[in-house]
């Protein structure tokens, strides 16, 4: 969600075609059983897991999402959370998320990505007093990262885990930009070390002919819903470098949040082709929507809140030949749509 405000609302399920985008061989998937064993469906080696984002203090809807996910996928191989775990990044807010998680059944393996809301403590002189004129109000940049690391159980914003044998990489900013440039706020900065790590891990799994799931909070420009909108074109300070790495790999699936844009939009999933990478098929990019508050196109280059209850996320089903991506409405307990993407790594 843009901090300054909240683009065409279409109810389709096809991939968007546009500048730098192409529709792959993607068809509506046949209905699948909602229950599997140990993250596996009836087909061989199908691994099911779930991805959500943008909890931002809406712990009631977070709990509802966890309950619905357990009902439809009780043996989920993992849960990815694409940032904005908390509303501001206070330690007590992380603790509230952990308590909510512990009160609801959930996968043992949770992959957390850092979001811009994890850096909003400096806007407050205390938890009850907004004081942006005196930013950072004594809060250090290092303390914000330490809070995330303590919660996520690691010491970097980027990490690799496995959901039932499927490699899952999380990415994130390594600076909060306003500490380094007064003209910047939430823009993502990635170090040479993180870029090198990402390049190495994608190459590693490409040699082994494995699809890779990549989770990041901020969306890349000209990808999923909202990212051709002026509000979301400048989220990365080095977008071309990141795109050039991801764009080489046909079986990379990038999941991004931040916009809160509705999964009912037609460009909820796209294929992004990056010129110069030699990969004319592109890679798959998926919008993760949000647990807290939905947004959509206002028809004027901005965005407008989606009326009524909003609580959406994804189920991902990785088989030997295809990946099925399913959009879920947790508030109604219904599927919104699904899409099947053939794997180029399939034998």
pLDDT at position 38 is 43
The mean pLDDT value of the chain amounts to: 90
pLDDT at position 347 is 52
pLDDT at position 71 is 98
What share of the chain has pLDDT > 70, as a percent?
Answer: 87
pLDDT at position 45 is 86
pLDDT at position 345 is 80
Give the tens place of pLDDT for each residue, 97-134: 999 999 999 999 999 999 999 999 999 999 999 999 99
pTM for the model stands at 0.89
pLDDT at position 4 is 41
- The full 3-state SS of the chain, as one line of letters, equals CCCCCCCCCCCCCCCECECCECCCCCECCCCCCCCCECCECCCCCCEEEEEECCCCCCHHHHHHHHHHHHHHCCCCCCEEEECCCCCCCCHHHHHHHHHHHHHCCCCCCEEEECCHHHHCHHHEEECCEECHHHCCCCCCHHHHHHHHHHHHCCCCCCEEEEECCEEEEECCCCCCHHHCCCCCCCCECCCHHHHHHHHHHHHHHHHCCCCEEEEECCCCCCCCCCCCCHHHCCCECCHHHHHHHHCCCCCEEEEECCCCECCCCHHHEEEECCCCCCCCCCEEEEECCCCCCCEEECCCCCEEECCCCCCEEEEEEECCCEEEEEEEECCCCEEEEEEEEECCCCC
pLDDT at position 25 is 35
Residues in the chain with pLDDT values less than 50: 4-43
- For the 47-342 domain, the top CATH level (class) is alpha beta
Give the tens place of pLDDT for each residue, 143-179: 999 999 999 999 999 999 999 999 999 999 999 999 9
């Amino acid at each position: 969600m843009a901090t300054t405000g909240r683009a065409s609302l279409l109810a389709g399920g096809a991939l968007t075609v546009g500048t730098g985008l192409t529709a792959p061989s993607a068809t509506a998937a046949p209905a699948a059983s909602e229950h599997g064993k140990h993250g596996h469906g009836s087909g061989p080696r199908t691994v099911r897991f779930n991805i959500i984002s943008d909890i931002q203090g809406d712990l009631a809807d977070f709990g509802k999402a966890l309950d619905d996910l357990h009902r439809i996928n009780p043996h989920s191989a993992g849960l990815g959370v694409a940032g904005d775990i908390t509303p501001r990044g206070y330690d007590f807010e992380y603790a509230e998320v952990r308590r909510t998680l512990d009160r609801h059944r959930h996968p043992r393996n949770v992959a957390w990505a850092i979001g811009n809301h994890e850096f909003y403590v400096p806007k407050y002189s205390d938890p009850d007093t907004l004081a942006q004129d005196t930013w950072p109000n004594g809060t250090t940049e290092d303390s914000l990262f330490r809070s995330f690391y303590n919660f996520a159980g690691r010491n970097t914003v980027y990490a690799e885990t496995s959901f039932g044998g499927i490699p899952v990489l999380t990415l994130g900013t390594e600076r909060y930009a306003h500490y380094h440039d007064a003209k910047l706020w939430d823009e993502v900065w990635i170090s040479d070390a993180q870029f090198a790590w990402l390049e190495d891990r994608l190459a590693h799994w490409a040699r082994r002919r494995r699809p890779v799931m990549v989770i990041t909070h901020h969306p890349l420009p000209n990808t999923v819903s909202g990212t051709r909108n002026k509000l979301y074109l400048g989220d990365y300070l080095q977008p071309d470098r990141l795109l050039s790495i991801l764009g080489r790999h046909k079986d990379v699936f990038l999941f991004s949040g931040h916009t809160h844009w509705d999964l009912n939009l037609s460009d909820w999933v796209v294929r992004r082709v990056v010129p110069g990478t030699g990969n004319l098929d592109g890679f798959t990019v998926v919008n993760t929507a949000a647990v807290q508050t939905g947004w959509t196109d206002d028809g004027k280059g901005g965005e407008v809140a989606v009326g009524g209850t909003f609580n959406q996320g994804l189920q991902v089903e990785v088989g030997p030949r295809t990946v099925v991506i399913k959009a879920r409405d947790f508030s109604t307990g219904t599927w919104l749509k699904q899409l099947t993407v053939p794997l180029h790594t399939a034998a």
